[in-house]
């Protein structure tokens, strides 16, 4: 799929954020979910988004990931074109089909319930994004097996999602997010349904699979301990950023 692209000069590549939003406005009828919000996420960063219910956390995540299109403002992603040159893609200007394709190739998702496909086995769930990008079955099988093995899921590959524990299912979701080498991974309360020990394991794996490998992680969480493990915490209220820790990284 071809996107409208804006080339990035090689000298500027290190300064251009991986993902950024500016003046973001999202409304649901009369209610304003995001009110002129701006944020930039760099490679290797892990950003925790916190805030009370209704503050716009999930809406921000959905807008960043191209799941919804904002009413106003821009969402820009730095990615590579077919020749390996940096380009900026305006996510907010893409059609539904183009945003689907972008999610498939550039983004990974780890949500509270994993958003895994219950009918499929753990192996097939990880294979799914690879098959969708046109990778052959045998290649997808081998890469998915490798990823599951790295995440300690050896012997559980043929189990359905319902036959796995919450922590195991999240490991499958992390493996799936890694399968396409996604440069940005979105997580929505990834440890919300887990006990504290499993939550710590899953969080460590998630950070190891993303920011520690130079990928960006954007995570919505209510858990202060989870947020503390991230390199930046962004607090929202009424659709606006009210605080960032550390402040120096404010956009």
Partner 1 sequence: MSTHEARTGVSARRAGQRTALWLLIRPSRADASEIVLPVIAIAVITAVSIAVSTLANAFWFAPDPSGFGQYQILAVAMLAVMVVPVSTLGSSAARLSARRREDRLATLRLMGATPRWVRKVALVEAGLLALAGVLLGAALALPITPALALVPVAGNTLGIDRAILPPALVVVLASCVVLVALISAVASLKQVMISPLGVRMRQSAPRMHWLRLVIAALVVAGAVLVLQLTSASWGTVGITLALVLVIVSVMAVLNILGPFLVGRSAQRRLRRSDNAASLIAARTVLESPQAAWRQVSGVALASFIAVPAGSVLGFLDMVQNVSDAVTPEQIQFFGDIRTVVVAALAVSYLLVACSVGVTQAAAVMERRALYVSLDRLGMSQPVMHRSRRMAISIPLLVAAVVPAVIAAVLVIPVVGVSAVTAPLFLLTVIGCIVLGMLLVQLGVIATFPVLRRVLAAPERAL
Determine which residue in the list 137, 208, 224, 243 makes contact with partner 1, applying CB under 8 A: 137
- Rounded to the nearest whole angstrom, what is the least distance from the CB of residue 230 to partner 1 in the complex? 22
Pattern 157-186, partner 1, x by CB under 8 A = -------------------x----------
Instruction: Restricting to residues 192-251, name those near partner 1 by CB under 8 A.
Output: none
Q: Which is nearer to partner 1, 166 or 232 (CB)?
A: 166
Instruction: Restricting to residues 52-81, name those near partner 1 by CB under 8 A.
Output: 65, 67
Unique residue bearing structure tokens 């071809």:
2
* Residue 240 φ then ψ, to 5°: -135, 155
Distance CA 241, CA 21 (A): 12
Q: Which is nearer to partner 1, 141 or 210 (CB)?
A: 141
Q: Which is nearer to partner 1, 129 or 166 (CB)?
A: 129
- Rounded to the nearest whole angstrom, what is the least distance from the CB of residue 14 to partner 1 in the complex? 28
222-245 residues labelled b (16+ CB within 10 A) or e (exposed)? ebeebbebbbbbbbbeebbbeebb
Q: Which is nearer to partner 1, 140 or 233 (CB)?
A: 140
Q: Which is nearer to partner 1, 155 or 162 (CB)?
A: 162
Unique residue bearing structure tokens 């099988």:
141
Distance CA 8, CA 28 (A): 34
Q: What is the DSSP letter of 13?
A: T
- Which two tokens mark 198? 């499993």
43 part of the interface to partner 1, by CB under 8 A? no
Q: Pairing between strand 107-111 and 46-50?
A: unpaired
144-182 residues labelled b (16+ CB within 10 A) or e (exposed)? bbebbebbebeebbebebeebebbbbbbbbbbbbbbbeb
- Which two tokens mark 197? 């020990």
Instruction: Restricting to residues 89-128, name those near partner 1 by CB under 8 A.
Output: 96-97, 100-105, 107, 109, 111, 115-120, 124, 127-128
Q: Which is nearer to partner 1, 114 or 167 (CB)?
A: 114
Determine which residue in the list 132, 193, 207, 245 makes contact with partner 1, applying CB under 8 A: 132
- Contact of 87 with 8, CB cutoff 8 Å: yes
- Rounded to the nearest whole angstrom, what is the least distance from the CB of residue 148 to partner 1 in the complex? 17
Q: Which is nearer to partner 1, 22 or 132 (CB)?
A: 132
Distance CA 25, CA 32 (A): 8
Determine which residue in the list 12, 13, 136, 213 makes contact with partner 1, applying CB under 8 A: 136
Contact residues toward partner 1 (CB under 8 A) are 65, 67, 96-97, 100-105, 107, 109, 111, 115-120, 124, 127-129, 131-132, 136-137, 176
């Amino acid at each position: 799929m071809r996107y409208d692209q804006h080339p990035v000069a090689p000298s500027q590549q290190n300064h251009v954020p991986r993902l950024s939003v500016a003046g973001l406005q999202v409304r649901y009828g009369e209610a304003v979910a995001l009110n002129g919000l701006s944020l930039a996420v760099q490679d290797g960063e892990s950003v925790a988004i916190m805030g009370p219910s209704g503050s716009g956390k999930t809406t921000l995540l959905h807008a960043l990931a191209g799941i919804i299109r904002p009413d106003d403002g821009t969402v820009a992603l730095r990615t590579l074109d077919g020749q390996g040159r940096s380009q900026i893609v305006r996510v907010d200007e893409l059609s539904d089909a183009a945003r689907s394709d972008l999610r498939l190739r550039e983004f990974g998702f780890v949500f509270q319930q994993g958003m895994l496909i219950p009918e499929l086995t753990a192996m097939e769930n990880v294979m799914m994004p690879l098959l969708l990008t046109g990778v052959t079955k045998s290649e997808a099988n081998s890469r998915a097996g490798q990823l599951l093995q790295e995440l300690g899921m050896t012997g559980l590959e043929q189990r359905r999602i319902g036959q796995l524990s919450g922590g195991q299912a999240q490991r499958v979701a992390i493996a799936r997010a890694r399968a396409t080498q996604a440069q940005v991974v979105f997580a929505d309360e990834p440890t919300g349904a887990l006990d504290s020990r499993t939550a710590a394991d899953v969080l460590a794996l998630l950070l190891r699979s993303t920011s520690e490998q130079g990928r960006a992680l954007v995570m919505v969480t209510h858990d202060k301990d989870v947020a503390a493990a991230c390199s930046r915490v962004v607090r929202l209220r009424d659709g606006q950023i009210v605080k960032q820790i550390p402040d120096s990284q404010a956009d």
